Amino acid sequence: MATITLRKALQTKKTLVGDIAKLKSTIEKFNSQETPNKHIKLAEIHTVYIAKIDELIALKTAITKANVEIYGAIVAADETKGLIAMYEGLNTSDSTLKRGLEGQYSTIPLTVYFDYSMVEDKVADLKGKLQGLLDKIDYFNSNTTITIG
């Protein structure tokens, strides 16, 4: 059994996911060949692949149990990121639209509700809120330990 910080567990999870993807790719690539590559030991690779998946399951389970306490902040951070993306994607300029009806074109004026300054203010406020949430999550991850195994 190992005891590590949640921050380290999250880093380890990212590494494990990469390792698993690489092993899976190797298995898929070399599983069916006309002339098997004698240097690729698929039985051994498969054993390591399954062991890494088991390790990932244990790690994800421990992370999930630890995150219960901070889960509200995690969800709020995710949704705040979504709001920022929505506001940053808005057209904030009044403009015109040319619409064609039966060969005739007419110009239609378009007026925005959220103008540039409104969007900038909202985004700035949300980024401040997001930073506070991320700081809270980072503090939690750095100061919370979990036991794996």
**Amino acid type, 6:** L
pLDDT in tens, the chain (149 residues): 789 999 999 999 999 999 999 999 999 998 988 887 888 899 999 999 999 999 999 999 999 999 999 999 999 999 999 999 999 999 898 887 777 777 677 787 888 899 999 999 999 999 999 999 999 999 999 999 999 87
Rounded Cα gap, residues 147 and 9, in angstroms: 10
Long-range contacts of 84-90 (CB under 8 A, 24+ apart): 84/123, 84/126, 84/127, 84/130, 87/114, 87/119, 87/122, 87/123, 87/126, 88/119, 88/123, 90/114, 90/119
Give the global pTM. 0.76
Rounded Cα gap, residues 84 and 76, in angstroms: 12
pLDDT of residue 1: 77
pLDDT of residue 76: 98
pLDDT of residue 110: 84
pLDDT of residue 123: 98
pLDDT of residue 89: 95
Residue 69 is inside which H or E element, if any?
A: none
